[in-house]
């Protein structure tokens, strides 16, 4: 392993992630571990140069003040003991805190600033090869950032031993399935199974208007299609997963409750008993993107905006029909193209269109035309828990309106959603 490491032990701080990220931003790799880790476990981690005991407001668990095992303080690795109540608390100013961390990791621990993507990738390749040996790995490749980066990394590590399955559920954005095939099969030479299951999904979704039912059907059908493909393949022992560090942190720690549970193989039957390969499980989202770029993935794949698993299915409100779904897909493509031309790509956090199941009267070619409206949603947020409405130039909205009403079949109006979250959620379903 090439990277030095600083371990952050979670003693009830709400800022474990902030501290770990700060250390990484100084060029030293850092991982968060639970407070009751043993000295033997610390010693089994590669190149640990220092330990930060990160106390905080959640330090009292079930009425008791938790602490590390006494052996940790005697294991010979430099320790920085910090607690918001103790003498050694973090300075309140972010600049000063960085100085304190920097002095500890470089002056006291003598860590090398060798955390970079090149070293990360070569370490992971070594780890993947050691885990997998000559075994075969299966990966559900959605085309999203995380699964795409895992695919690129696995291709580099084990090439032919990897099989990717791309399930097109018919609810992807314009050009997405084609891009997955182009990048992974044509450019990277991956073993890619492309399954066009659009008709199958649309049939299952017919007349289903309840959003949660729609989500459940899409999720369950996805697992079923993937399972069918997995059963056709022989001798697969491993399953690649695009799990990233926030998924693990948000699953809860010993001192902090779960924010959301982390879904692993979610729903695959027990007899498909795969061992997981999760090479991104210690990366934050921006690091995943940097890894993707370093592996040669195109920018529009690596920096793409978040896209929900049920895809356009939750933007074609109510019961999905083919023609209204096409109106969502086409209007979304126009919106993305215009945002890109206006230089807004990457500047607005998420933007998309919605088509509700209502019609209003309009005029087309001098005649009455009852058609759908398209709603534009463009928001900025840090964590998707709250969001503000993006300030889009009026002339751009006018241009997009003209294009959508002229080019998208069955649409005669365009509306802009001015609602922040709360009260509106980002998606409409």
User: What is the closest distance, in whole angstroms, from the C-beta atom of residue 318 to ligand XMP in the complex?
Assistant: 16
Task: Say what the alpha-carbon torsion angle 313, 318, 322, 324 is, to the nearest 10 degrees.
Answer: -100
Q: Are the C-beta atoms of 356 and 319 separated by less than 8 Å?
A: no
53 torsion bin: left (phi>0), alpha (psi -120 to 50), beta (else): beta
Residue of 9, 61, 59 whose CA lies nearest to 33 = 9
Q: Does 421 bind ligand XMP (CB under 6 A)?
A: yes
Question: What is the DSSP secondary structure assignment for residue 312, as one 8-state letter?
Answer: G
Q: Report how many residues bind ligand XMP under the rule CB under 6 A.
A: 11
| CB atoms inside a 10 Å sphere around CB 11 | 25
CA distance 120 to 291: 8
Specify the residue, 80 or 378, whose C-beta has the smaller distance to ligand XMP: 378
Q: Does 310 bind ligand XMP (CB under 6 A)?
A: yes
Specify the residue, 242 or 310, whose C-beta has the smaller distance to ligand XMP: 310
Residue of 279, 415, 295, 274 whose CA lies nearest to 356 = 415
CA distance 360 to 413: 8
User: What is the closest distance, in whole angstroms, from the C-beta atom of residue 327 to ligand XMP in the complex?
Assistant: 19
Q: Does 384 bind ligand XMP (CB under 6 A)?
A: yes
Q: Does 426 bind ligand XMP (CB under 6 A)?
A: yes
Rounded to a whole number of angstroms, the CA Rg of the chain reads 25
Q: Does 262 bind ligand XMP (CB under 6 A)?
A: no
Query: Which 203-232 positions form the footprint of ligand XMP (CB under 6 A)?
Result: 215
Binding mask 136-155 for ligand XMP (x = CB under 6 A): --------------------
User: What is the closest distance, in whole angstroms, from the C-beta atom of residue 249 to ligand XMP in the complex?
Assistant: 17
User: What is the closest distance, in whole angstroms, from the C-beta atom of residue 144 to ligand XMP in the complex?
Assistant: 9
Listed ranges 17-25, 291-299, 323-331, 421-429: which one lies at the site for ligand XMP (CB under 6 A): 421-429
421 CB-near residues (< 8 Å, 6+ apart): 379, 381, 385, 386, 387
Task: Say what the alpha-carbon torsion angle 245, 247, 249, 251 is, to the nearest 10 degrees.
Answer: -160
Beta bridge partners of 238: 137, 275
Q: Does 353 bind ligand XMP (CB under 6 A)?
A: no
Q: Does 285 bind ligand XMP (CB under 6 A)?
A: no
CA distance 40 to 199: 54
Options 86, 306, 346, 393; binder of ligand XMP; rule CB under 6 A: 306
Residue 235, CA distances (Å) to 124, 127, 231 in order: 23, 21, 10
User: What is the closest distance, in whole angstroms, from the C-beta atom of residue 383 to ligand XMP in the complex?
Assistant: 9
Q: Does 350 bind ligand XMP (CB under 6 A)?
A: yes
Listed ranges 53-61, 63-71, 391-399, 418-426: which one lies at the site for ligand XMP (CB under 6 A): 418-426
Specify the residue, 380 or 401, whose C-beta has the smaller distance to ligand XMP: 380
Binding site for ligand XMP (CB under 6 A): 215, 306, 308-310, 350, 384, 421, 425-427
């Amino acid at each position: 392993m090439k990277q030095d490491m600083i371990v952050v032990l979670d003693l009830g701080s709400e800022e474990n992630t902030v501290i770990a990220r700060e250390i990484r931003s100084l060029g030293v790799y850092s991982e968060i571990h639970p407070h009751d880790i043993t000295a033997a476990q610390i010693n089994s981690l590669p190149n640990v140069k220092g330990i930060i005991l990160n106390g905080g407001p959640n330090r009292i668990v079930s009425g008791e003040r938790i602490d590390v095992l006494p052996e940790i303080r005697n294991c010979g690795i430099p320790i920085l003991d910090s607690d918001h109540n103790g003498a050694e608390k973090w300075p309140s100013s972010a600049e000063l805190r960085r100085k304190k961390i920097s002095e500890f990791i470089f002056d006291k621990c003598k860590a090398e600033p060798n955390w970079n993507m090149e070293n990360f990738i070569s370490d992971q390749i070594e780890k993947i090869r050691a885990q997998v040996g000559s075994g075969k790995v299966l990966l559900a490749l959605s085309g999203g950032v995380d699964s795409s980066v895992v695919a690129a990394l696995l291709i580099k590590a084990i090439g032919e031993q990897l099989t990717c399955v791309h399930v097109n559920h018919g609810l992807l954005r314009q050009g997405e399935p084609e891009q997955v095939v182009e990048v992974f099969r044509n450019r990277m030479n991956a073993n890619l199974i492309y399954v066009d299951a659009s008709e199958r999904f649309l049939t299952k979704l017919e007349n289903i208007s309840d959003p949660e039912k729609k989500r459940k059907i899409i999720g369950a059908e996805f697992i079923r299609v993937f399972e069918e493909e997995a059963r056709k393949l022989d001798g697969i022992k491993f399953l690649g997963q695009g799990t990233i560090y926030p998924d693990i942190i948000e699953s809860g720690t010993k001192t902090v409750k779960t924010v959301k549970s982390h879904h692993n193989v979610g729903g695959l039957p027990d007899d498909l008993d795969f061992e997981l390969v999760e090479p991104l499980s210690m990366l934050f989202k921006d690091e995943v993107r940097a890894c993707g770029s370093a592996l040669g993935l195109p920018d529009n794949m690596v920096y793409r905006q978040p896209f929900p698993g049920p895809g356009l299915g939750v933007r074609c409100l109510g019961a999905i029909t083919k023609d209204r779904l096409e109106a969502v897909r086409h209007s979304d493509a126009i919106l993305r193209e215009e945002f890109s031309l206006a230089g807004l790509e990457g500047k607005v956090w998420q933007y998309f269109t919605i088509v509700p199941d209502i019609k209003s009267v309009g005029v087309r070619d001098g005649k009455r035309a009852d058609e759908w409206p398209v709603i534009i949603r463009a928001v900025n947020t840090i964590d998707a828990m709250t969001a503000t409405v993006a300030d889009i130039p009026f002339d751009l909205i006018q241009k997009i309106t003209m294009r959508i009403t002229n080019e998208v079949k069955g649409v005669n109006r365009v509306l802009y959603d001015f609602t922040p979250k709360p009260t509106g959620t980002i998606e409409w379903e």
